[in-house]
Structure 1
């Protein structure tokens, strides 16, 4: 089916390339430096998840269409993540395999958040009428920046995780430590990002951010993004200068160069051919894992899309742009900060919890039931808040409603920590014999994450219209998906062998 040159290229497998630079494990401090980049990445993600759905509605996009903006992320992730993984496994740059992707990814993030933060100002300078509800030029700039941001995040996260795998140099204990550190710094970035998003007067640090076209909410967002740029560039620069990324041996570089010079189209076919081949070579356990992961993300994505909007609209009873809504969004960001603290603590307890309950798949199944309970809390809290406003004619929820809302965010930190680790651990076990590299394996699993995000983004608008508006329809779908994925995780996922568990690079120690 493949021509000889394609076979030659594919024979230089990712797993072989990763073992080419065989050396002793890198000192832990250098792994910490690379893992710390996750804090910079996740700081920006925290702002994206907490503030951008409210912000796009502030620019005039109706609630039922706001979720469609998030199609950018899954589509770019489905295309970019596997390709970045493939080429980062094979990169012959003299600067190393992973560092060029991290460098250009960080630059792209800086450009993207600048466009998003200044969308209202740029749109106004191009003729947006501030008296009209919708600002079309600002929306176009926002969406363009959003696309770049999602592409850049995919350029960063996969190579960073793969870089940690490279630095571990086949030391499985060091791999587990490195990936636990990555998860920990993700949680740190979440805490800092959500804390910044919850502070009302942050824009006063940079007063110039508030303009005629950009109110206090917008100025706070802009200031948060300036902090995000500074943090990511600082951490990335330190890691890239401090940690050596050893290039592949020159003899392999020459072999790859010969393959490339034969025909550029053939090289492209080889790239996508290996990505498709990764699917064709998947065994049943990996397919089952991808199924459970996909259903699980149908449960999670409504929360990521609408958490702060739910606080502003359903809990505080506001509409985009008014004071009640803005207070609700800030309270939602504070709730997400609490969620991130719980996630950070839980990320350190994933391995012992897995041993306690009898394995990774059982732990994943249990916490998905917790996820379903948490999402069900949104219905109870919403109805209670609505009743309270009807009785008191006020928009500010009582202390009891606020406490219940924050408890909801805290509870979901438990399953979220498992969701960020266990699927990757199981994927490492199930695909260990496939011959795929660190980057390509993560890219394949990423498909099972982004496809359900596309489904939720596309369908949440029709759910909104069908059931009279609001965020609850998407949360109800999430409840059902959480229960199904929890049951399937326990029933259909194979129990890993003890010999395979010892090789788990993420959240190891399950059996």
Structure 2
């Protein structure tokens, strides 16, 4: 204790300096994102149509996604909090990463085999009948999967922050690597989702209760969990951590004797600097913009662009086209993530890049309205002239172009805010796990609102997806203004002779 002052409740013993961490270790940890995002991509592209095939109406489909925001608000801060203070001999982050991967495995099995398990439990094989038991199994697996993914993401990002040791350049590069591997996972996931004959790799996936679409989904999830297991085992077995001492954590506990995690969370909010608060608000607006599109993107292509009905061939073709668009989105995001490492340093710490990315997001979301109207117009003309209902080439090209261009703001949102969060929280001695977990609350809180309101809101305007997209465009434009006008540049923290480390944090017990 210095000058008679008590330490901040956020201050936590930093692990031994890791400034000479070999780049391959950062790559090994960041590569876990490939396996995680492979599964997320399958969720975003295939599961909203899948739950409708199980018998859940479109207006209720968004409620299935409530687990993501709820678990994100609770699980990521909790995982960050306890991984900050974990005294396991295996390190602070690795035990959480291993446990979360095991939970993902269980969840994927439940989701992929939900129709089969539901049939064994008594569900009808009639394609038009609701399957309540399969729905129940699917929802349980889906919630476990979201909890596990949130439990996995917080320690992974915190592990990368540990390896970066507060250096702005290393932090930015580590987050860019994570975003790049996220894009790789997305490309693989969306490519798998867009291929209609993948189930032939595993013939046993096709059953009486599981048609071709279901068998493809099951095969995709089996591939994703295999990939995640391989990457996780490689990372946690090759990248070691030095454990922190129990004494330091006990001293830390004395600063919040009764409130535990909630005291730690309140302390984190109290200690956050003004830039961190600005960052949280900006993330809330950006997340509002993104989630409405992410929730319904492939459904939008199947319904509005292709004009299909759930379960029909035209709709399925639209969903596969949407998956192809998401694959292009991820490819562009991967390239953009690498570019961020080169250009963000000289552009106000990336703030302006992120603001411009949000403006591009607003424009693309607004374009979905124009594409939908043109698709409807050309479809009416084609039907009137006796032609087919397949969208015109120009409509298809415009749709895929929007998906591809959206890869640019995708990469910026996955990279720059988390780099800023690591730097901001380091500047006031915050634990990386908890602080980044709190940042995730700003990501998922709007998702909770969107999940609760988008279904009924869309139904109020005719049951389509455009109302959610229009709200998203408005939120993205507001986020752009907020980031460019109010979000400050972070203080310089790169390790050089004139810039000391911001992670040289000490702990002392409070005086009595």
**How does the TM-score come out when normalised to structure 1?**
0.90
Q: CA deviation at 1:426?
A: 2.4
Cα deviation 1:235-287 (Å, max 9, x = unaligned): 11111111212211xxx314646998x9xxx8772221011111122232222
* 1:365 is the counterpart of 2:355: yes
* 1:46 is the counterpart of 2:41: yes
Q: Superposed, which structure 2 residues align to 1:495-506 within 5 Å? A: 495-498=489-492
CA contact under 8 A between 2:172 and 2:415: conserved in structure 1? no
Per mean C-alpha deviation after superposition, the further-off stretch among 150-159 and 169-178 is 169-178
Counterparts of 2:105 and 2:213, CA distance in 1 = 20
CA contact under 8 A between 2:493 and 2:500: conserved in structure 1? no
Partner of 2:470: 476
Partner of 2:309: 319
User: Cα–Cα, structure 1 residues 466 and 170, in superposed 2: closer, same or farther, change >3 Å?
Assistant: closer
Partner of 2:234: 238
* 1:487 is the counterpart of 2:476: no
CA contact under 8 A between 1:14 and 1:438: conserved in structure 2? no
Given the alignment, which residue of 60, 70, 75 partners 2:55? 60
Given the alignment, which residue of 403, 416, 420 partners 1:426? 420
User: Cα–Cα, structure 1 residues 485 and 100, in superposed 2: closer, same or farther, change >3 Å?
Assistant: same
CA contact under 8 A between 1:64 and 1:464: conserved in structure 2? yes
Cα deviation 1:185-212 (Å, max 9, x = unaligned): 1111111111111101000101111111
Q: Superposed, which structure 2 residues align to 1:110-509 within 5 Å? A: 110-131=105-126, 132-248=128-244, 252-254=245-247, 256=249, 269-354=259-344, 357-393=347-383, 394-498=388-492
Cα deviation 1:381-416 (Å, max 9, x = unaligned): 111111122121223212111111100101111111
Per mean C-alpha deviation after superposition, the further-off stretch among 98-107 and 29-38 is 29-38
Q: Which has the higher helix share?
A: 1
CA contact under 8 A between 1:176 and 1:504: conserved in structure 2? no
Counterparts of 1:501 and 1:27, CA distance in 2 = 16
CA contact under 8 A between 1:15 and 1:438: conserved in structure 2? no
Which secondary structure state, in structure 2, belongs to the residue aligned with residue 348 of structure 1?
Answer: helix
CA contact under 8 A between 1:183 and 1:420: conserved in structure 2? yes
* 1:109 is the counterpart of 2:104: yes
- Unaligned residue ranges in structure 2 (runs of 5+): 1-5, 502-512
User: Cα–Cα, structure 1 residues 257 and 294, in superposed 2: closer, same or farther, change >3 Å?
Assistant: closer
CA contact under 8 A between 2:286 and 2:479: conserved in structure 1? yes
Counterparts of 2:97 and 2:323, CA distance in 1 = 28
CA contact under 8 A between 1:106 and 1:156: conserved in structure 2? yes
Q: CA deviation at 1:101?
A: 0.5
Q: CA deviation at 1:356?
A: 5.9
Q: CA deviation at 1:172?
A: 4.5
CA contact under 8 A between 1:318 and 1:325: conserved in structure 2? yes
Counterparts of 1:346 and 1:271, CA distance in 2 = 37
Q: CA deviation at 1:166?
A: 2.2
Cα deviation 1:14-62 (Å, max 9, x = unaligned): 6532x23235522222221111111111111111111111111111111
Counterparts of 2:215 and 2:34, CA distance in 1 = 23
User: Cα–Cα, structure 1 residues 498 and 101, in superposed 2: closer, same or farther, change >3 Å?
Assistant: closer
